[in-house]
Structure 1
Amino acid sequence: MQVIATAGHVDHGKSTLVRALTGMEPDRWAEERRRGMTIDLGFAWTTLTSGRRVAFVDVPGHARFVTNMLAGLGPVPAVMFVLAADQGWQAQSQEHWEAIRALGVEHGLLVVTRCDLMDPGPALAEAREHVGWPAVTVSGSTGQGLDGLRAALDRLTGALPAPDAAAPVRLWIDRAFTIRGAGTVVTGTLAAGTLRTGDRLLLEGEPVRVRGLQALGEQAAQVAATARVAVNLRGVERDRAARGMSLLTPDAWLPADVVDVRLDTGDPPDPGPREAVLHIGSASVAARVRPLGPGTARLTLARTLPLRVGDRALLRAPGRPIVGVRVLDVRPAPLRRTGAAKARAAELAPFAALAAPVPDAATLLRWRGMAQEAELAAMGGDALPAPVADGWLIDPGRWAELADRLAALAAAQPGVPVDAARTALALPTRGLVEALARSRPPLSVADGRIDAGGGLPEPVLAAVGRLRAELAAAPYRAPEAARLTELGLTARVVGAAARAGLLLRLTGGVVLPAGADTAAARKLAELGRPFTAADARTALGTTRRVVIPLLEHLDARGLTRRLDDRLRVVAAP
């Protein structure tokens, strides 16, 4: 089965056309039939010449019912865009077309109807200035051109990409009603996944069970996407379900109320609406808009929605055009520090262009540092790396930093307990600490404690501990050679500690604790812009004697990258 929305501004002609194609009445309410105006979503279906079955979601055309129109348009893969020969392209045609483009619907058919009333040529020519889809001309009243329309629908549905029937279910509810003796039934367009009787799902976070399924009026044990489906829910009161809610596969979706998005206008969002309505699927939710940078913004939603990276949605604000948005992050970090919004805009900048991809799993992980495998998958991450330990994934840059910090901690506190190290590093499980130790010889774990020695004598470990204590307040004020000797860090001791991964030895006799390089890169990333050596010296609170060899080391490790003779950027903080 395939599902097509019928859009366009011409209500009576559009419903007449669907009626002629399917033999079914898409206008469900007596008032709709009396006024010749579609008010709410209508549904009908038919079998094409090829045997393919196609369902239609007939959406309202009038400006007062745009929210209903978007609820029907949101989940469908294709659109039959209907214009009237005697009316041509109008303001509502433009609004519907903008919504279709903003949602990224690429497949469709242009239909000019009411051709028995007027020559369709002028209306068709005008529509072709906007719509590049194949076109047919028909009359729903006389049947003229219906065979050609059915053939065009066959070609359209045959060319649609195959949905992922194994994907987690997110069924946006567009109707909810009660059937005597059966209970609550909800309907929607299943865009991906498969529903089965007996399935356990979530409705607004509450567990429910599927009692029965129907597709196109027929009982079914299972229904795979793409399909119009009616779901009978066991033991669910009618007032628990409504349009805009969703049925979800458990543990496969994250409820989001703050999201970072790309605005598909391509223009800077400021000045722009600070209050708008987000439309996705059949849901419409009030949203506060905070511009971040050119083409990106943060949305704070009035209620949580099950969203994923890559989702397409619409933003509407009074007096402004519809704006398409693409979700870039569903669990962004709070913007609390001064300059945090600017830094976040810099992170999102590679994804702000209209043709840019959405963030992949590696990017999402880098933004967080670490995440559980199931959580990253629920965000929409694909090609996930293997978990490090206990189901946790850690970004390589963060992993290297943590390994440096663990080595330093073990050097300062010989035999530190694993649990104490876990607390000091703010790690969620012991398994991660043990995996860190295994990845960083000569660290090892024995009897619940971390051995940093690897055969190093106690005086070497003590000297490293004294250096760390001295640099606690100013981490990049590396001691001069004479002070290193006073701390017990002779050339021989420094060499042994550096080989064991406890010290960072740079050119020019500069010695810093292990991990100072990755920590410096993270500090420089907070600048949010290209920087000079002088900028780095100020940001790190150090001297030219230290900052020049440190920057050369960061370049060599790929943590920073030169733009020219003066400027660098952080490549992988």
Structure 2
Amino acid sequence: MYVVATAGHVDHGKSTLVQRLTGMWPDRLAEEQRRGLTIDLGFAWTAIEGREIAFVDVPGHERFVGNMLAGVGPVPAVLFVVAATEGWMPQSEEHVAALRALGVGHTLVVISKADLADPTPALAQCREQFPGAPVVLGTDLDQVRRSLVALVDGLPAPDSDADVRLWVDRSFTVRGSGTVVTGTLAAGRISVGDELDHDGRTVSVRGLQSLGRDQPSVAAVARVAVNLRGVDRDAIRRGDTLCTPGAWLPTGEVDVALREQGKLQQRLVLHLGSAAVPVHVRPLGETGARLRLARPLPLRVGDVGLLRDPGEHRIAAGVQVLDVRPAPLRRRGEARARAAEIATGRVAPPVCERADTLRAMGFAASGDRIGDWVVAPGWWAQRRRDAVSAVERWVADHDIAAGMPEETLRRQAGLPAPQLVPPLLDGTGLTVRDGLVQRPGTDLPPRVDAAVRAVTEWLASDPFRAPEAAELAALGLGPKEIGAAVRAGRLARIADGVVLGPDVHARAAEVLAALPQPFTVAEAKRALDTTRRVAVPLLEQLDARCITRRAGDGTRRLV
């Protein structure tokens, strides 16, 4: 299917031309039929030389330009109508300005009412306004049909595998079916049973129609009516979207390049798709702007819309989205730097982002793949250098620490997620263990090493006579130093302030094996030639390691 919108000044015969081509009168509202004036969007369709063509007929009156833009926004081609009786008129000018701002380049111009006035002036005006576009007389309906076929045959092929974003242009209730919405499906495919996202809630597709016929599945480009389950008619309206879940990032702020620019004001309305959203405009140089939207929209890089001043009935600028998640502009010079970047016509994608998020933003996943993440190679290499330097500084400032906390390193290296730390350290010699980043072969600083050697010599002749707290303090071994020695495997902590050699458990088992089984604490204390301060916690550790087993009467035996 192909979808074509109409455009042109009020009463120039757009609806009549659609009716002559399709046999269907597009005006559906009673007021439209009573007044003979298109107020809202109308729809009709026909087949021409095997091509199914659906028409979105839009109003031409200046009071209903918002409705016109809702119809044209998602549509790739336009049938522009100019009456020979009046020629180029104010709404002809506004409509063509809108088409230029939206970047609609596929246009067929029809001179209507050519049997009522000399069409020559209107032909000349249209050729001036649409250089290169075909211009035909509406009195020759066969030529109009041939030109329509040529128009749709020149349209780019849609991507039926793309993520769905259906801009809603109508919402109503059908008795016995519930909520139904309509729109132009520009890309992707919708099938009965699909689950789609609407404003953060999941809705399911109960039924589908296209061109008045029930369909199990509809692929772009197409006019489609979607019967929804899970949303009331009053909760979904024109300008809303139905999207592939998780594939879009609703955004309330975007950076845009300005096209077909006129006079910018601080407060305008952004028309994109079928949406019309008030925005606050912050100019960024002469070719860009940051837009703060009154409500979030699911936008992507490359989306095209326009800014309009509804009070003055004028198009302020065409816009192309360059960034849907722009960084704050807080520091001096950041706005100027951003303006210079926008002036190039593109902005760089994030240097580190999840691949699915890049897709949702509209950026290609170019860079190095690190798990679910995509990183810029130069940025990643700099982060690795920064990480090594950060660990070196940490070790210098915390010489007895077991390692730098992984979260501290993540923050200092500027990584957005903890899972990026281990791959960042690949090839650096640094490792992550128990949440700590460590250097290989990390040893004790000289002052602690000397103290531990003194304790080791102390224990050589009396392996179970632990130094007293005062003796450890005299050697400069406080809790942190002892902790470092234990982590390095140079000492074993038996209790707070009680340390022995690293092989104490095996040596104790050898001594206790010579005792009659079972044995008491007193017997173990005598055999080990130590104090109760050492014997009791040492036996408890032997129990915990299943070297000994304690009986209900307090005696123990070797396992």
Same fold (TM > 0.5): yes
Structure-1 residue corresponding to 2:358 = 376
CA distance in 2, matches of 1:152, 1:294: 39
CA distance in 1, matches of 2:11, 2:168: 23
Aligned partners of 2:368 and 2:377 also within 8 Å: no
The change in CA–CA distance for 1:272 and 1:420 in structure 2 (over 3 A counts) is: closer
- Aligned residue for 1:328, secondary structure, equals strand
- Aligned residue for 1:25, secondary structure, equals coil
Structure-1 residue corresponding to 2:32 = 32
CA distance in 1, matches of 2:434, 2:15: 76
Q: Counterpart amino acid of 1:381?
A: F
CA distance in 1, matches of 2:29, 2:61: 16
Alpha-carbon shift at residue 342 of structure 1 (Å) = 1.6
- Aligned residue for 1:122, secondary structure, equals helix
Structure-2 residue corresponding to 1:308 = 300
- Aligned residue for 1:201, secondary structure, equals strand
> 1:223-238 to 2 correspondence within 5 Å?
223-238=218-233
Q: Counterpart amino acid of 2:354?
A: Q
Aligned partners of 2:367 and 2:376 also within 8 Å: no
Alpha-carbon shift at residue 194 of structure 1 (Å) = 0.3
Structure-2 residue corresponding to 1:332 = 326
Structure-1 residue corresponding to 2:209 = 214
Alpha-carbon shift at residue 447 of structure 1 (Å) = 5.9
Aligned partners of 1:5 and 1:79 also within 8 Å: yes
The change in CA–CA distance for 1:265 and 1:235 in structure 2 (over 3 A counts) is: closer
CA distance in 1, matches of 2:441, 2:48: 75
Aligned partners of 2:261 and 2:317 also within 8 Å: no
- Aligned residue for 2:180, secondary structure, equals strand
1:76-115 deviations in Å (ceiling 9; x for gaps): 0100001111010011101000111111111110100111
- Aligned residue for 1:56, secondary structure, equals strand
Q: Counterpart amino acid of 2:188?
A: G
Structure-1 residue corresponding to 2:393 = 412
Higher mean Cα deviation, 282-291 or 342-351? 342-351
The TM-score, its normalising length taken from structure 1, stands at 0.73
Aligned partners of 2:163 and 2:188 also within 8 Å: yes
Does residue 194 of the first structure (1) align with residue 189 of the second (2)?
A: yes
- Aligned residue for 1:239, secondary structure, equals helix
1:473-504 deviations in Å (ceiling 9; x for gaps): xxxxxxxxxxxxxxxxxxxxxxxxxxxxxxxx
CA distance in 2, matches of 1:401, 1:349: 27
Structure-2 residue corresponding to 1:443 = 430
> 1:486-525 to 2 correspondence within 5 Å?
none
1:427-471 deviations in Å (ceiling 9; x for gaps): 3433311111104x3434456543446899979xxxxxxxxxxxx
Q: Counterpart amino acid of 1:402?
A: R
- Aligned residue for 2:237, secondary structure, equals coil
Aligned partners of 1:8 and 1:61 also within 8 Å: yes
> 1:543-554 to 2 correspondence within 5 Å?
none
Structure-2 residue corresponding to 1:472 = none
Aligned partners of 1:411 and 1:453 also within 8 Å: no
Q: Which runs of 5+ in 1 are unaligned?
A: 140-144, 352-357, 460-573
Alpha-carbon shift at residue 13 of structure 1 (Å) = 1.4
Alpha-carbon shift at residue 266 of structure 1 (Å) = 6.1
Alpha-carbon shift at residue 188 of structure 1 (Å) = 0.2
Q: Counterpart amino acid of 2:287?
A: G
Alpha-carbon shift at residue 405 of structure 1 (Å) = 1.8
> 1:65-104 to 2 correspondence within 5 Å?
65-104=64-103
Aligned partners of 1:43 and 1:58 also within 8 Å: yes
The change in CA–CA distance for 1:119 and 1:453 in structure 2 (over 3 A counts) is: same
> 1:126-145 to 2 correspondence within 5 Å?
126-132=125-131, 133-139=133-139, 145=140
Q: Counterpart amino acid of 1:28?
A: R
Aligned-residue Cα RMSD (Å) equals 2.0
CA distance in 2, matches of 1:454, 1:260: 50
Does residue 265 of the first structure (1) align with residue 260 of the second (2)?
A: yes
> How many pairs are equivalent?
436
Structure-2 residue corresponding to 1:427 = 415
Q: Counterpart amino acid of 1:35?
A: R
The TM-score, its normalising length taken from structure 2, stands at 0.75
Higher mean Cα deviation, 4-13 or 273-282? 4-13
Structure-2 residue corresponding to 1:505 = none
CA distance in 1, matches of 2:335, 2:186: 35
> 1:287-366 to 2 correspondence within 5 Å?
287-317=279-309, 318-319=311-312, 320-351=314-345, 358-359=346-347, 363-365=348-350
Does residue 282 of the first structure (1) align with residue 279 of the second (2)?
A: no
> 1:398-409 to 2 correspondence within 5 Å?
398-409=379-390
Structure-2 residue corresponding to 1:252 = 247
